Amino acid sequence: MSYVIEGGTGAWEVVIGLEVHAQVVSQAKLFSGAATAFGAEPNTQVSFVDAAFPGMLPVINRECVAQAVRTGLGLGAHINLVSRFDRKNYFYADLPPGYQISQYQHPIVGAGVIEIELADGSTKSIGVTRLHLEQDAGKSLHDQHPTKSYIDLNRAGVALMEIVSEPDLRSPEEAGAYLRKLRTILRYLGTCDGNMEEGSMRADVNVSVRKHGEPFRTRCEVKNVNSVRFVMQAIEVEAKRQVEIWEAGGAVDQETRLFDAARGITRSMRSKEEAHDYRYFPDPDLLPLVLDEAWIAELKAALPELPDAKRRRFMQQYGLPFYDSAVLVAEQATADYYETVARGRDAKLAANWVMGDLFAALNRTGRTIETSPVPAAALGALLDLMADNTINGRIAKEVFEAMVDTGEAPGAIVERKGLRQVTDTGAIDAAVAAVLAANPEKLAEYRSGKEKLFGFFVGQVMKAMAGKGNPALVNDALKRQLG
Ligand code: ADP
Ligand code: MG
């Protein structure tokens, strides 16, 4: 099921590597005590260090370092006990010092791996090259005044983790799965909120194309793409653009491009010749970062159960298929909700209800699992009413809808609406007899061999009993009276 782009000269394979900028969850910035909360009034969260006042010195925030280490551990990556901060020099109005403090040759985290899950049920391991810590820049606001640009430095100095993948991805779908999985892991770890709309996760997308078996060709980098869907679209259009160039006998230039979502194209931002020379050098204001192995071990011991481990446990403990487990662990809150419902109950039935009826209800009401109109315990109580034969599966759907609408407990709804299942065989026999008497032609057809009419009779009996008949008893009674 490999993804290729067909050209006049045959099929082209797409090669993708992602550089993801993930904003670190922390109260304060990487080198200052200024706050990091999203949505504050412009320039209210800026220290003298962030504004690059002369003589101000950076002091590293231990929590940001811990967050990077946790992330590295969560990606099964090598933690470098010694890393270093460098200055990446460039001029921009939203960068008061004239340089960004980043990690260049000596990142805090080395090679790791992310396992992605694909639609056909297969998995693939994608290499992570490195993770390094760096500062975010400020933000230029061009739409506040007709002739002036304003600068908001709230974001200046906020800690980012840049997470670089190997060029192991081969399709838009794989890139999307990688981003979603990375986001899930970061959220489990609590190291980045993964909120792409607020810009706390953005991706630079490196794309090249090649004929199967060839060495890599020249890549282009599409900068700052801010949603999973846009990353997938950008790859598709950029790969097609490159195929057309190669097919026409041209050559792809290595360059930085921008994705224009409105027009569905990428366009050039700067070519390799215009590429910045950042003049990296070690920041003289910061010592090399030396980590203590015991501290790393402490952080490791405190990590939560991560998505892959949880998925494996769900498969084993609850006997769920791979797909169900993967869906249920995608969000920590969903996994917790599921476990509350499943504990001590039919685990597969619980999974079906969570992934089917509950997800549909959340969609319909615009709620999340955290604000679900039906709490986990209430859904569990509904399953109990089915298990002890108080209601049948069909009525359960009706009760569930009422739970979503009213927030009432399932037992109360069943009593109020009189939905208890009928298990009285006398009443069932009477309903069956009435249905057979009312449908003499269908009965004759059935008796002359048209056995699939059995379903018709079941439906009629259920209808006559307002859906409340016990399905097994209805089946028995029908078989007896028809036979
Ligand atoms: P740079 O230092 O210029 O950013 P890197 O070697 O760090 O270059 O690579 C940046 C990203 O580009 C990585 O995610 C990597 O996987 C990806 N990449 C490298 N070569 C290719 C290629 N030929 N096609 C697609 N992506 C590539
Ligand atoms: Mg790069």
pLDDT in tens, the chain (483 residues): 589 999 999 999 999 999 999 999 999 999 999 999 988 999 999 999 999 999 999 999 999 999 999 999 999 999 999 999 999 999 999 999 999 999 999 999 999 999 999 988 899 999 999 999 999 999 999 999 999 999 999 999 999 999 999 999 999 999 999 999 999 999 999 999 999 988 899 999 999 999 999 999 999 999 999 999 999 999 999 999 999 999 999 999 999 999 999 999 999 988 777 777 899 999 999 999 999 999 999 999 999 999 999 999 999 999 999 999 999 999 999 999 999 999 999 999 999 999 999 999 999 999 999 999 999 999 999 999 999 989 999 899 999 999 999 999 999 999 998 889 888 889 999 999 999 999 999 999 998 889 899 999 999 999 999 888 888 899 999 999 987
Which residues make up the CATH 1.10.10.410 domain(s) of the chain?
Answer: 425-482
CA-closest residue to ligand 1 atom 11: 17
Residue 86 DSSP SS3 = strand
Half-sphere exposure of 153 (CA within 13 A, CB side): 20
Give the pTM: 0.89
Residue 117 CA, ligand 2 centroid: distance in Å: 25
d(CA 88, CA 275): 13
What residues are paired with 35 via a beta bridge? 28
- 425-482 CATH choice from 1.10.10.410, 3.10.129.10, 3.40.50.1100, 3.40.1360.10: 1.10.10.410
Residue 163 CA, ligand 1 centroid: distance in Å: 12
CA-closest residue to ligand 1 atom 20: 167
Mutation test residue for ligand 1: of 15, 102, 219, 278, the one with most atoms within 8 Å of CB: 219
Residue 390 DSSP SS3 = coil
Inter-residue contact 47 to 84 (CB < 8 Å): no
164 Cα nearest atom in ligand 1: 14
Does the beta carbon of 281 sit less than 6 angstroms from any atom of ligand 1? no
Ligand number, closest to the Cα atom of 134: 2
Query: What is residue 472's predicted lDDT score, i.e. its pLDDT?
Result: 87
Q: How far apart are the first and last CA of the chain?
A: 51
Residue 220 CA, ligand 1 centroid: distance in Å: 9
d(CA 399, CA 406): 10
Does the beta carbon of 102 sit less than 6 angstroms from any atom of ligand 1? no
Residue 151 DSSP SS3 = strand
Other beta carbons less than 10 A from residue 179's beta carbon: 26
d(CA 238, CA 229): 14
Does the beta carbon of 19 sit less than 6 angstroms from any atom of ligand 1? yes
Inter-residue contact 419 to 399 (CB < 8 Å): yes
Residue 452 CA, ligand 2 centroid: distance in Å: 64
* Residue positions counted in the chain: 483
Mutation test residue for ligand 1: of 20, 103, 164, the one with most atoms within 8 Å of CB: 164
Does the beta carbon of 167 sit less than 6 angstroms from any atom of ligand 1? yes
Closest CA to 417 of 391, 393, 380, 389: 391
Residue 345 DSSP SS3 = coil
Inter-residue contact 483 to 462 (CB < 8 Å): no
Backbone angles phi, psi at 468, to 5 degrees: -95, 0
CA-closest residue to ligand 1 atom 6: 166
Inter-residue contact 391 to 419 (CB < 8 Å): yes
Closest CA to 241 of 222, 215, 262, 216: 222
Tokens of 49: 């260090």
Does the beta carbon of 219 sit less than 6 angstroms from any atom of ligand 1? yes
168 Cα nearest atom in ligand 1: 16
Tokens of 78: 């090598």
What residues are paired with 220 via a beta bridge? 207
Does the beta carbon of 228 sit less than 6 angstroms from any atom of ligand 1? no
d(CA 282, CA 439): 89
d(CA 335, CA 313): 11
- What is the DSSP track for 20-64? EEEE---SB-SSS--B--TTPPTTSS--TTTTT-TT------HHH
Query: Which stretches of 280-352 are assigned E, i.e. beta strand?
Result: 281-282, 289-290
d(CA 336, CA 332): 6
Ligand number, closest to the Cα atom of 280: 1
Other beta carbons less than 10 A from residue 482's beta carbon: 15
d(CA 84, CA 252): 35
Residue with tokens 């029908």: 478
Query: What is residue 25's predicted lDDT score, i.e. its pLDDT?
Result: 98
Residue 255 DSSP SS3 = strand
Does the beta carbon of 216 sit less than 6 angstroms from any atom of ligand 1? yes
d(CA 119, CA 172): 12
- What is the DSSP track for 89-132? E---TT-TTSEEEE--SS-SB--EEEEEE-TTS-EEEEEEEEEE
Inter-residue contact 19 to 163 (CB < 8 Å): yes
d(CA 449, CA 445): 7
User: CA separation (Å) from 11 to 205, 212, 234?
Assistant: 22, 8, 19
Spell 29-39 as b/e; 16+ CB within 10 A means b: bbbbebbbeee
Query: What is residue 483's predicted lDDT score, i.e. its pLDDT?
Result: 78
CA dihedral sign of residues 394, 398, 399, 400: positive
Query: What is residue 391's predicted lDDT score, i.e. its pLDDT?
Result: 93
Backbone angles phi, psi at 417, to 5 degrees: -95, 0
Torsion of CA 31, 33, 37, 39, to 10 degrees: -90
d(CA 323, CA 329): 10
Residue 19 CA, ligand 2 centroid: distance in Å: 7
